[in-house]
Copies of this chain bind each other. A is one copy, B any other.
């Protein structure tokens, strides 16, 4: 991750961030001096669930405030517990006749400050309890016998189910029981490629290249092990899951997972990993879970749940819903309802688990089939003429491949000749397979277009577009004027003119830009204007030749900075334009040999 930041230090940043959250969530309010975000709509007849801790874990904690999750969140400075005064302020903003649950991660400062707040609130007559969240499995029982385990991202499952239960009107004892059972049935293990960096502070240390850290926490603590060289991603995931699930690991095995238990999976981004990788890691986790442990998660949640600033890491959490059922006598159905029910908490991820009844969808008729059935309809052409023309065009272009390649090597990336050859060989293969036998023009045009499209690249796309658009124009004319439509050179010229106009909507290249358009534009315009194929081919050739010494002005280069392309007086002609002209000349000649 980057050690660069927009803010020079963390000073004032926590409150600025909370202001942002509250500004776009009208149901939330901010007590800025106490860094407390609270729900404006929490009803005092419902149990109040409050959480909090250090900042730097955004969207934790305040992103989870909203009916159906937290009534309030208390935020300390980066990685530092809020003070007791702040916790007391949170309690005062969301009072409850039903009781108050303070959900805390099990760090020393949080224990003490929330603990003190509990003692003070209890003295004021509040029914208030502390619920410790302790899902980390990186350290085993021996190492954590004094301190207890840390809270990591499965915390969010505690907050969601406990908050949902409160919203559904469950009483204090039941909310506590569910919350504690969620925690008792949740495990998390983290993994990271590096530490995070705090604005304005010395960098903690960089994890060496080709090394990852297993058992990483979210406060820049050292992890449990560093592993190098980096194993394959499946092996990393497999190692992580063993820490969560292995019943033989007597120092861990914190949660029992039985066959057929209903299990949820939560994947947390530490903040600096691309979503691109995170989503793929989720699938790998799902596959390893299935393969090694026969677990198919009933619910999957993927998000930045509880970050460590910009750390390039992630964690896997598993929640055994069946374990909660056994411990609380609450049915799986009810527990899943509590998990899936909507909440106003802005950071709880959207997901598809409320959409239970989907309409059956009929199998789609694929577009290819549609094309297939209509392709044989429409105008007929003389099979031998069109075959001869196409063969001659392809042969001419293939013969010119060495020149095309040479020109492209001088000014481009040298693959133009190969692309042209590929397109033409594709057409020839189709001709060999009897493409022209039926004389069905649309079928022939569709197949030629397909052969060009297969090769891809910008040149292929441009030729494909003009061919497809030309064909579409003729199809529309048939639809309008009937099957008897004759495709003469005039009609062809009109279709080519319109196809050119359509093509020019997709590329900004024009005449003088040193592209295939230098041949195509004069060709189509002449064909439309004069209805004479020979004159049109001449125009294409003239246009292609005009690209000699021309400067390139199009393509992605034009998006960036002030880098002008170089002008070269002795530049070769544009290989794409030349290829088009050569192809068209071959086509004309091929027609002639049959006429």
Question: When each residue 451-477 of chain A gets 1 if its CB lies under 8 Å from chain B and 0 otherwise, what string results?
Answer: 001001010011011001101100110
In the assembled complex, the Cα of A122 lies from the Cα of B470 at a distance in Å of 11
Q: By the criterion CB–CB under 8 Å, are A559 and B193 in contact?
A: no
A308 CB to closest chain B CB (Å) equals 9
* Interface residue? A109 (CB, 8 A): yes
Q: By the criterion CB–CB under 8 Å, are A17 and B146 in contact?
A: no
Q: By the criterion CB–CB under 8 Å, are B468 and A283 in contact?
A: no
In the assembled complex, the Cα of A20 lies from the Cα of B111 at a distance in Å of 37
In the assembled complex, the Cα of A67 lies from the Cα of B351 at a distance in Å of 13
Contact of A554 among B146, B359, B449 (CB under 8 A): B146
- Taking A115-B505, A367-B88 as contacts, is the C-beta distance between A299 and B458 under 8 angstroms? no
In the assembled complex, the Cα of A210 lies from the Cα of B472 at a distance in Å of 55
* Interface residue? A485 (CB, 8 A): no
* Interface residue? A348 (CB, 8 A): yes
Q: Which residues of A110-134 have CB atoms within 8 Å of chain B's CB atoms?
A: 111-116, 119-125, 130
Using Cβ atoms and an 8 Å threshold, which residues of chain B touch A193?
2, 4-6
Q: Which residues of A296-341 have CB atoms within 8 Å of chain B's CB atoms?
A: 299-302, 304, 307, 309-310, 312
* Interface residue? A233 (CB, 8 A): yes
Q: By the criterion CB–CB under 8 Å, are A6 and B281 in contact?
A: yes
21 contacts between A and B (CB under 8 A): A1-B310, A4-B194, A17-B275, A18-B279, A20-B279, A21-B279, A23-B283, A25-B351, A40-B361, A56-B274, A84-B464, A91-B367, A92-B366, A112-B461, A123-B468, A146-B558, A217-B559, A271-B275, A274-B309, A310-B312, A350-B350
* Interface residue? A358 (CB, 8 A): yes
Q: By the criterion CB–CB under 8 Å, are A20 and B472 in contact?
A: no
Q: By the criterion CB–CB under 8 Å, are B146 and A301 in contact?
A: no
Q: By the criterion CB–CB under 8 Å, are B279 and A58 in contact?
A: yes
Using Cβ atoms and an 8 Å threshold, which residues of chain B touch A221?
556, 559-560
- Taking A344-B352, A355-B26, A364-B93 as contacts, is the C-beta distance between A502 and B119 under 8 angstroms? yes
Q: By the criterion CB–CB under 8 Å, are A2 and B272 in contact?
A: yes
Q: By the criterion CB–CB under 8 Å, are A304 and B280 in contact?
A: no
* Interface residue? A568 (CB, 8 A): no
Question: When each residue 93-120 of chain A gets 1 if its CB lies under 8 Å from chain B and 0 otherwise, what string results?
Answer: 1010000000000011101111110011
Contact of A83 among B55, B56, B199, B456 (CB under 8 A): B456
A313 CB to closest chain B CB (Å) equals 9
Contact of A16 among B41, B212, B279 (CB under 8 A): B279
